[in-house]
Amino acid sequence: MTRCLQTTGQGYFEEVEYNKPEPSEYEIEVKALMTGVCRSDIDMMQGNFGPLPLHMQGHEGLGIVTKVGNGIGMTQVGDIVATRGEPAYADYYNVRIDEYVTVPEAHPKYIIEPVACGLNIVTGYLTEVLGRAGPNSRLLLVGSGFLAYVAYQSLKIQNVEFEIDVLGSSNKDIWGNVELKNQPTGTYDVVIDLVGNRELFLDPILNTQALVIQGVSRTVSKAEMESLLWKACTMVYPSPRVSGFYHDMELAVEWIKNGLLDVDKFWTKCYNRNTEWQQAFADGADRPSGYSRGYIKWD
Protein backbone atom coordinates (compact mmCIF):
# COMPACT_ATOMS: atom_id res chain seq x y z
CA MET A 1 0.00 0.00 0.00
CA THR A 2 1.07 3.59 -0.66
CA ARG A 3 -0.60 6.94 -0.03
CA CYS A 4 -2.42 8.77 -2.82
CA LEU A 5 -4.37 12.01 -3.12
CA GLN A 6 -7.82 11.53 -4.64
CA THR A 7 -10.91 13.55 -5.43
CA THR A 8 -14.41 12.22 -6.01
CA GLY A 9 -15.66 15.55 -7.33
CA GLN A 10 -17.12 16.81 -4.08
CA GLY A 11 -14.95 19.94 -3.87
CA TYR A 12 -11.86 18.56 -2.14
CA PHE A 13 -9.01 16.05 -2.35
CA GLU A 14 -8.39 13.47 0.37
CA GLU A 15 -5.56 11.11 1.25
CA VAL A 16 -6.37 7.44 0.63
CA GLU A 17 -4.49 4.16 0.34
CA TYR A 18 -3.48 2.96 -3.12
CA ASN A 19 -2.77 -0.72 -3.68
CA LYS A 20 0.00 -0.27 -6.24
CA PRO A 21 0.82 -3.40 -8.26
CA GLU A 22 4.37 -4.43 -9.09
CA PRO A 23 5.63 -2.92 -12.37
CA SER A 24 5.11 -5.11 -15.43
CA GLU A 25 7.79 -6.04 -17.96
CA TYR A 26 7.46 -2.71 -19.78
CA GLU A 27 6.94 -0.44 -16.79
CA ILE A 28 9.09 1.36 -14.26
CA GLU A 29 8.22 2.20 -10.66
CA VAL A 30 8.66 5.85 -9.71
CA LYS A 31 8.94 7.47 -6.31
CA ALA A 32 7.18 10.84 -6.56
CA LEU A 33 9.35 13.93 -6.10
CA MET A 34 7.11 16.67 -7.55
CA THR A 35 3.67 16.71 -9.16
CA GLY A 36 2.05 19.72 -10.78
CA VAL A 37 -1.48 20.75 -9.85
CA CYS A 38 -3.24 20.89 -13.22
CA ARG A 39 -6.33 22.93 -13.97
CA SER A 40 -8.02 19.70 -15.04
CA ASP A 41 -7.44 18.33 -11.52
CA ILE A 42 -9.23 21.37 -10.11
CA ASP A 43 -12.11 20.96 -12.59
CA MET A 44 -12.41 17.31 -11.56
CA MET A 45 -12.36 18.30 -7.87
CA GLN A 46 -15.16 20.80 -8.50
CA GLY A 47 -17.29 18.21 -10.29
CA ASN A 48 -16.98 19.69 -13.78
CA PHE A 49 -16.02 16.30 -15.24
CA GLY A 50 -15.25 12.75 -14.13
CA PRO A 51 -14.14 11.95 -11.59
CA LEU A 52 -11.38 9.67 -12.83
CA PRO A 53 -10.60 6.44 -10.95
CA LEU A 54 -7.92 6.44 -8.28
CA HIS A 55 -5.24 4.95 -10.54
CA MET A 56 -5.54 7.98 -12.90
CA GLN A 57 -5.25 10.90 -10.45
CA GLY A 58 -2.30 13.24 -10.95
CA HIS A 59 -0.48 13.31 -14.29
CA GLU A 60 2.19 16.07 -14.17
CA GLY A 61 4.82 13.91 -12.51
CA LEU A 62 8.53 14.13 -11.75
CA GLY A 63 10.21 11.35 -9.79
CA ILE A 64 13.08 8.96 -9.24
CA VAL A 65 13.11 5.44 -10.67
CA THR A 66 12.98 2.77 -7.94
CA LYS A 67 12.27 -0.38 -10.00
CA VAL A 68 12.71 -1.28 -13.68
CA GLY A 69 10.77 -3.93 -15.63
CA ASN A 70 12.72 -6.59 -17.53
CA GLY A 71 11.65 -5.19 -20.89
CA ILE A 72 13.00 -1.69 -20.22
CA GLY A 73 16.26 -0.82 -21.97
CA MET A 74 18.40 2.15 -20.94
CA THR A 75 16.50 3.39 -17.87
CA GLN A 76 18.14 2.59 -14.53
CA VAL A 77 17.20 2.77 -10.87
CA GLY A 78 18.12 6.26 -9.65
CA ASP A 79 17.31 8.06 -12.91
CA ILE A 80 15.17 11.19 -12.65
CA VAL A 81 12.17 11.00 -14.97
CA ALA A 82 9.31 13.26 -16.00
CA THR A 83 6.10 11.28 -16.38
CA ARG A 84 2.65 11.59 -17.87
CA GLY A 85 1.56 8.29 -16.34
CA GLU A 86 -0.80 8.12 -13.39
CA PRO A 87 -1.39 8.28 -10.48
CA ALA A 88 1.34 10.87 -9.94
CA TYR A 89 -0.39 11.96 -6.71
CA ALA A 90 0.71 8.64 -5.18
CA ASP A 91 3.96 8.24 -3.24
CA TYR A 92 4.91 5.45 -5.67
CA TYR A 93 3.37 4.66 -9.05
CA ASN A 94 4.08 2.66 -12.20
CA VAL A 95 4.73 4.26 -15.60
CA ARG A 96 4.62 2.60 -19.02
CA ILE A 97 7.63 2.70 -21.32
CA ASP A 98 6.17 5.38 -23.62
CA GLU A 99 4.96 7.69 -20.85
CA TYR A 100 8.18 9.05 -19.36
CA VAL A 101 11.43 10.76 -20.36
CA THR A 102 14.70 10.99 -18.47
CA VAL A 103 15.61 14.52 -17.33
CA PRO A 104 18.88 16.06 -16.07
CA GLU A 105 17.76 17.00 -12.54
CA ALA A 106 14.91 17.10 -10.03
CA HIS A 107 13.82 20.68 -10.72
CA PRO A 108 10.25 21.95 -11.32
CA LYS A 109 11.20 23.16 -14.79
CA TYR A 110 11.41 19.46 -15.69
CA ILE A 111 7.78 18.78 -14.82
CA ILE A 112 7.46 18.16 -18.53
CA GLU A 113 3.88 17.00 -19.16
CA PRO A 114 2.24 20.47 -19.15
CA VAL A 115 5.08 21.90 -21.26
CA ALA A 116 4.64 19.11 -23.79
CA CYS A 117 0.91 19.93 -23.89
CA GLY A 118 1.84 23.45 -25.01
CA LEU A 119 4.18 22.09 -27.68
CA ASN A 120 1.59 19.58 -28.86
CA ILE A 121 -0.82 22.39 -29.68
CA VAL A 122 1.57 23.38 -32.47
CA THR A 123 3.62 20.28 -33.30
CA GLY A 124 0.58 18.01 -33.44
CA TYR A 125 -0.60 19.96 -36.50
CA LEU A 126 2.66 21.43 -37.74
CA THR A 127 2.09 20.29 -41.34
CA GLU A 128 -1.29 22.03 -41.41
CA VAL A 129 0.16 25.16 -39.77
CA LEU A 130 3.10 25.32 -42.18
CA GLY A 131 0.72 24.92 -45.10
CA ARG A 132 -0.75 28.29 -44.18
CA ALA A 133 2.51 30.06 -43.30
CA GLY A 134 4.08 32.77 -45.41
CA PRO A 135 5.26 36.40 -45.44
CA ASN A 136 1.69 37.80 -45.18
CA SER A 137 0.18 35.04 -43.04
CA ARG A 138 -1.42 35.91 -39.71
CA LEU A 139 -2.01 33.81 -36.60
CA LEU A 140 -4.19 34.60 -33.58
CA LEU A 141 -3.35 33.01 -30.23
CA VAL A 142 -6.34 33.34 -27.89
CA GLY A 143 -5.13 33.19 -24.28
CA SER A 144 -2.06 34.39 -22.39
CA GLY A 145 -1.50 31.63 -19.87
CA PHE A 146 1.07 28.85 -19.52
CA LEU A 147 -0.02 26.81 -22.56
CA ALA A 148 -0.34 29.89 -24.74
CA TYR A 149 3.19 31.03 -23.92
CA VAL A 150 4.67 27.60 -24.66
CA ALA A 151 2.75 27.41 -27.95
CA TYR A 152 3.98 30.91 -28.87
CA GLN A 153 7.60 30.00 -28.08
CA SER A 154 7.24 26.78 -30.08
CA LEU A 155 6.26 28.80 -33.14
CA LYS A 156 9.23 31.14 -32.62
CA ILE A 157 11.80 28.40 -31.95
CA GLN A 158 10.74 26.54 -35.09
CA ASN A 159 10.80 29.79 -37.13
CA VAL A 160 7.22 29.38 -38.31
CA GLU A 161 6.53 32.38 -40.54
CA PHE A 162 3.49 34.26 -39.20
CA GLU A 163 2.55 37.66 -37.90
CA ILE A 164 1.25 36.64 -34.45
CA ASP A 165 -1.33 38.42 -32.30
CA VAL A 166 -1.76 37.26 -28.69
CA LEU A 167 -5.20 37.98 -27.25
CA GLY A 168 -5.25 38.15 -23.44
CA SER A 169 -4.62 40.22 -20.34
CA SER A 170 -3.20 37.83 -17.72
CA ASN A 171 0.39 36.78 -16.88
CA LYS A 172 1.88 39.88 -18.51
CA ASP A 173 5.15 39.41 -16.62
CA ILE A 174 5.99 36.19 -18.48
CA TRP A 175 5.45 37.67 -21.93
CA GLY A 176 8.27 40.23 -21.77
CA ASN A 177 8.18 42.50 -24.83
CA VAL A 178 5.31 40.67 -26.51
CA GLU A 179 2.32 43.00 -26.80
CA LEU A 180 -0.94 41.45 -25.59
CA LYS A 181 -3.99 42.51 -27.61
CA ASN A 182 -7.46 43.33 -26.29
CA GLN A 183 -9.23 42.27 -29.47
CA PRO A 184 -8.45 40.74 -32.88
CA THR A 185 -6.95 42.99 -35.55
CA GLY A 186 -8.22 41.84 -38.91
CA THR A 187 -8.47 38.29 -40.20
CA TYR A 188 -6.26 35.24 -39.66
CA ASP A 189 -5.05 32.11 -41.41
CA VAL A 190 -4.61 30.17 -38.14
CA VAL A 191 -6.41 30.65 -34.82
CA ILE A 192 -5.28 28.79 -31.69
CA ASP A 193 -8.06 29.05 -29.12
CA LEU A 194 -7.09 28.26 -25.51
CA VAL A 195 -9.98 30.13 -23.90
CA GLY A 196 -13.15 28.95 -25.63
CA ASN A 197 -14.62 32.34 -26.45
CA ARG A 198 -17.63 31.50 -28.65
CA GLU A 199 -18.43 35.12 -29.45
CA LEU A 200 -14.97 35.55 -30.94
CA PHE A 201 -15.73 33.12 -33.75
CA LEU A 202 -19.00 34.78 -34.62
CA ASP A 203 -16.93 37.76 -35.77
CA PRO A 204 -15.49 37.57 -39.31
CA ILE A 205 -11.90 36.87 -38.21
CA LEU A 206 -11.21 33.71 -40.25
CA ASN A 207 -9.78 33.74 -43.74
CA THR A 208 -10.94 31.16 -46.28
CA GLN A 209 -9.44 27.72 -45.54
CA ALA A 210 -8.22 28.90 -42.14
CA LEU A 211 -7.10 26.40 -39.49
CA VAL A 212 -8.68 26.55 -36.02
CA ILE A 213 -6.80 24.66 -33.29
CA GLN A 214 -9.35 24.29 -30.49
CA GLY A 215 -7.35 23.71 -27.33
CA VAL A 216 -10.24 23.75 -24.84
CA SER A 217 -13.47 21.81 -24.81
CA ARG A 218 -16.57 23.73 -25.83
CA THR A 219 -19.74 23.34 -27.86
CA VAL A 220 -19.61 24.68 -31.42
CA SER A 221 -22.78 26.60 -32.25
CA LYS A 222 -24.80 26.16 -35.45
CA ALA A 223 -23.81 29.68 -36.56
CA GLU A 224 -20.11 28.93 -36.07
CA MET A 225 -20.37 25.64 -37.95
CA GLU A 226 -22.10 27.33 -40.86
CA SER A 227 -19.32 29.95 -41.00
CA LEU A 228 -16.61 27.29 -40.85
CA LEU A 229 -18.27 25.30 -43.63
CA TRP A 230 -18.85 28.36 -45.81
CA LYS A 231 -15.17 29.34 -45.57
CA ALA A 232 -13.90 25.73 -45.91
CA CYS A 233 -12.07 26.03 -42.59
CA THR A 234 -10.56 23.14 -40.65
CA MET A 235 -11.03 22.68 -36.90
CA VAL A 236 -8.77 20.28 -34.97
CA TYR A 237 -8.46 19.29 -31.32
CA PRO A 238 -5.00 18.65 -29.81
CA SER A 239 -4.67 15.96 -27.14
CA PRO A 240 -1.82 14.50 -25.01
CA ARG A 241 -3.21 11.04 -25.84
CA VAL A 242 -1.86 11.11 -29.41
CA SER A 243 1.16 8.97 -30.32
CA GLY A 244 3.36 12.01 -31.08
CA PHE A 245 3.09 13.31 -27.52
CA TYR A 246 6.15 11.31 -26.43
CA HIS A 247 8.22 13.23 -28.99
CA ASP A 248 6.83 16.48 -27.58
CA MET A 249 8.08 15.43 -24.13
CA GLU A 250 11.55 14.73 -25.53
CA LEU A 251 11.52 18.04 -27.42
CA ALA A 252 10.49 19.95 -24.28
CA VAL A 253 13.41 18.47 -22.33
CA GLU A 254 15.84 19.38 -25.12
CA TRP A 255 14.62 22.98 -25.41
CA ILE A 256 14.64 23.57 -21.65
CA LYS A 257 18.06 21.97 -21.20
CA ASN A 258 19.54 24.05 -24.03
CA GLY A 259 18.01 27.30 -22.79
CA LEU A 260 15.66 27.77 -25.75
CA LEU A 261 12.55 27.59 -23.57
CA ASP A 262 12.38 29.19 -20.11
CA VAL A 263 9.53 27.92 -17.93
CA ASP A 264 10.88 28.89 -14.49
CA LYS A 265 8.37 31.73 -14.06
CA PHE A 266 5.41 29.40 -14.45
CA TRP A 267 5.97 27.47 -11.21
CA THR A 268 5.16 30.12 -8.63
CA LYS A 269 4.27 28.02 -5.58
CA CYS A 270 5.68 24.85 -3.98
CA TYR A 271 3.65 22.88 -1.41
CA ASN A 272 5.00 20.30 1.05
CA ARG A 273 3.37 16.90 0.47
CA ASN A 274 2.97 16.13 4.17
CA THR A 275 1.79 19.48 5.51
CA GLU A 276 0.49 21.68 2.68
CA TRP A 277 -1.18 19.48 0.08
CA GLN A 278 -4.70 20.71 0.94
CA GLN A 279 -3.55 24.30 0.34
CA ALA A 280 -2.17 23.30 -3.06
CA PHE A 281 -5.64 22.43 -4.31
CA ALA A 282 -7.28 25.38 -2.55
CA ASP A 283 -4.90 27.81 -4.27
CA GLY A 284 -5.34 26.00 -7.59
CA ALA A 285 -9.06 26.71 -7.32
CA ASP A 286 -8.90 30.29 -6.00
CA ARG A 287 -5.67 31.40 -7.76
CA PRO A 288 -4.40 34.04 -5.31
CA SER A 289 -2.51 37.10 -6.55
CA GLY A 290 0.79 36.18 -8.22
CA TYR A 291 -0.19 32.52 -8.64
CA SER A 292 0.57 30.90 -11.99
CA ARG A 293 1.07 27.17 -11.40
CA GLY A 294 1.67 25.22 -8.21
CA TYR A 295 3.29 21.86 -7.53
CA ILE A 296 3.43 19.44 -4.61
CA LYS A 297 6.89 18.38 -3.43
CA TRP A 298 7.71 15.17 -1.57
CA ASP A 299 10.49 15.23 1.07
Please tell me whether residues 108 and 249 are part of one structural domain: yes
**What's the CA gap between 128 and 151, in Å, rounded?**
15
Please tell me whether residues 17 and 79 are part of one structural domain: yes
* Residue 204: predicted pLDDT: 85
- Do residues 238 and 262 lie in contact, with contact meaning Cβ atoms separated by under 8 Å? no
Q: Average pLDDT in the 262-275 region?
A: 94
pTM of the model: 0.93
Q: Domain for residue 117, yes or no?
A: no
Please tell me whether residues 35 and 108 are part of one structural domain: yes
* Residue 38: predicted pLDDT: 95
Please tell me whether residues 194 and 270 are part of one structural domain: no
Q: Flag whether pLDDT at 169 surpasses 80.
A: yes
Q: Domain for residue 9, yes or no?
A: yes
Long-range CB contacts (< 8 A, 24+ apart) of 199-203? 200/142, 200/167, 201/227, 202/227
**What's the CA gap between 271 and 196, in Å, rounded?**
30
- Which residue range forms the structural domain that includes residue 134? 125-236
Please tell me whether residues 131 and 189 are part of one structural domain: yes
Q: Give the single-character DSSP code of 164.
A: E
Please tell me whether residues 230 and 249 are part of one structural domain: no
Q: Flag whether pLDDT at 149 surpasses 90.
A: yes
* 3-state SS record for 72-141: CCCCCCCCEEEECCCCCCECEEEEECCCEEECCCCCHHHCHHHHHHHHHHHHCCHHHHHCCCCCCCEEEE
Q: Domain for residue 259, yes or no?
A: yes
Please tell me whether residues 145 and 131 are part of one structural domain: yes
| For helices 245-257 and 112-123, angle between their N-to-C axes, nearest 10 degrees | 110
* Residue 223: predicted pLDDT: 81
Q: Average pLDDT in the 287-299 region?
A: 93
Q: Average pLDDT in the 135-144 region?
A: 96
Q: pLDDT band at 219, cuts 50/70/90?
A: confident
Q: Average pLDDT in the 53-66 region?
A: 97
Please tell me whether residues 221 and 161 are part of one structural domain: yes
Q: Domain for residue 118, yes or no?
A: no
Q: Domain for residue 120, yes or no?
A: no
Q: Domain for residue 119, yes or no?
A: no
Total domains present in the chain: 2
Give residue-wise pLDDT tens across range 68-104. Answer: 999 999 999 999 999 998 999 999 999 999 999 999 9
Q: Flag whether pLDDT at 64 surpasses 80.
A: yes
